[in-house]
């Protein structure tokens, strides 16, 4: 009935092991290795797990690849930096059986009180998502031009435009520890930070331009550009190298998107 999808990229093996143990051995699992050479030695891999090696194609594209290898009616995606109870999967499956007519179900990642009823038209981040494959095949899944950030927002907006329900279940709760899954040195940590800043701004403009229009997107992002230019000048004056690089990456990411260039920035 369900296939679990996990995307890894040089991820902490302890975190991967932990989430695989929580999932257990009863479900089909597809792991997309976006680093192509991830070492699974010491990882508790069940017989129902399939590993797909891939170049670093981005998280959304990684999920798409996992869905292509899914033959069940539902697919459940997990970020590996989430904490959840063992009964999470069975609870989501039971909700899916009851609701039926939905595109995506997601648990509450702390944004809502448990007492709320099911929340419709959600349009923000979701580190855990249950996909109704048949429903979403009609409109496609993630936009693979987006490497990082806004991929869920873009998909949820596409669902809304096509009258496909994206639902949050407030009484099913997870905890998302953002950007904690990759092991790195201090130098690598800074490179990943700069990469994220670049992509956040690129993807923000791309999302608004794609779903509205170019001038709407400029209007939504121009203040960020002005503030970042000012902060860059201040931090250059203060000789704050790290903060200066953060601002440079935010500015260049946004300007790249303004120029309608591809999302090209990667860590070699």
Q: Checking DSSP bridges between strand 2-8 and strand 28-33, what pairing results, if any?
A: parallel
Q: Is the pLDDT of residue 5 over 70?
A: yes
Asked whether 27 and 48 are in contact (CB, 8 A), the reply is yes
E strands present in 159-217 = 166-173, 175-176
pLDDT at residue number 140: 93
pLDDT at residue number 182: 57
Rounded to an integer, what is the distance from CA 231 to the centroid of its chain? 28
DSSP codes, 7-35? EESSB-HHHHHHHHHHH-SSSEEEEEETT
CA distance 244 to 64: 35
Q: Is the pLDDT of residue 207 over 90?
A: yes
Provide the token pair at 139.
Answer: 């409109």
What is the tens place of the pLDDT at every residue in 211-249? 999 999 999 999 999 999 999 999 999 999 999 999 999
What is the tens place of the pLDDT at every residue in 65-112? 999 999 999 999 999 989 988 899 999 999 999 998 899 999 998 788
Provide the token pair at 47.
Answer: 């017989």
Q: Is the pLDDT of residue 58 over 60?
A: yes
42 or 244, which is more confident? Answer: 244
32 or 175, which is more confident? Answer: 32
DSSP codes, 226-242? HHHHHHHHHHHHTT-HH
* Residue 101, CA distances (Å) to 94, 120, 135, 155, 163 in order: 13, 12, 8, 17, 11
* Residue 197, CA distances (Å) to 146, 248, 250 in order: 14, 9, 5
CA distance 30 to 7: 8
Q: Which residue has the tokens 């927002």?
A: 153
Asked whether 122 and 170 are in contact (CB, 8 A), the reply is no
What is the tens place of the pLDDT at every residue in 138-151? 999 999 999 999 99
pLDDT at residue number 155: 96
Give the mean pLDDT of the chain. 92
The structural domains of the chain, with segments of one domain joined by +, span 2-176, 186-258
Provide the token pair at 231.
Answer: 């902060």
pLDDT at residue number 184: 53
CA distance 120 to 165: 7
Mean pLDDT of the 8-15 span: 91
CA distance 264 to 147: 9
3-state secondary structure of 137: helix
Torsion sign over Cα 156, 160, 164, 169: positive
**Closest alpha carbon to 56 in 17, 10, 3:** 10
pLDDT at residue number 267: 79
Phi, psi of 173 (to 5 degrees): -115, 140
Q: Is the pLDDT of residue 197 over 90?
A: yes
What is the tens place of the pLDDT at every residue in 107-139? 998 788 877 788 887 777 899 999 999 999 999
pLDDT at residue number 111: 80
Q: Is the pLDDT of residue 181 over 60?
A: no
Strand partners, 78: 6, 128
pLDDT at residue number 242: 96
CB burial of 30-42 (b: ≥16 within 10 Å; e: otherwise) equals bbbbbeeebeeee
Q: Provide the whole-model pTM.
A: 0.92
Q: What is the CATH number of domain 2-176?
A: 3.90.550.10
């Amino acid at each position: 009935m369900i296939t679990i999808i996990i995307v890894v990229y040089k991820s902490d093996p302890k975190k991967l092991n932990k989430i695989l143990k929580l999932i257990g051995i009863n479900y089909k699992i597809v792991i997309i290795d976006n680093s192509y050479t991830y070492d699974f030695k010491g990882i508790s891999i069940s017989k129902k797990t399939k590993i797909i090696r891939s170049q670093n194609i981005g998280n959304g594209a990684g999920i798409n690849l996992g869905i292509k290898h899914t033959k069940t009616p539902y697919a459940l995606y997990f970020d590996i930096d989430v904490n959840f109870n063992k009964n999470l999967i069975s609870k989501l499956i039971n909700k899916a059986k009851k609701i039926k007519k939905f595109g995506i179900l997601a648990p509450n990642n702390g944004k809502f009180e448990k007492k709320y009823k099911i929340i419709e038209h959600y349009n923000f981040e979701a580190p855990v998502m249950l996909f109704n494959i048949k429903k979403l095949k009609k409109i496609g899944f993630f936009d693979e031009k987006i490497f990082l950030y806004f991929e869920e927002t873009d998909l949820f907006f596409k669902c809304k435009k096509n009258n496909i329900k994206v639902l949050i279940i407030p009484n099913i709760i997870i905890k998302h520890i953002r950007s904690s899954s990759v092991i790195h040195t201090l130098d690598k940590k800074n490179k990943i930070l700069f990469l994220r800043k670049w992509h956040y701004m690129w993807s923000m403009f791309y999302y608004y331009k794609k779903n509205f229009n170019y001038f709407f997107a400029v209007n939504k992002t121009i203040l960020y550009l002005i503030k970042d230019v000012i902060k860059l000048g201040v931090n250059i004056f203060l000789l704050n190298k790290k903060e200066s690089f953060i601002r440079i990456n935010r500015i260049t990411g946004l300007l790249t998107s303004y120029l309608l260039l591809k999302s090209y920035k990667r860590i070699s």
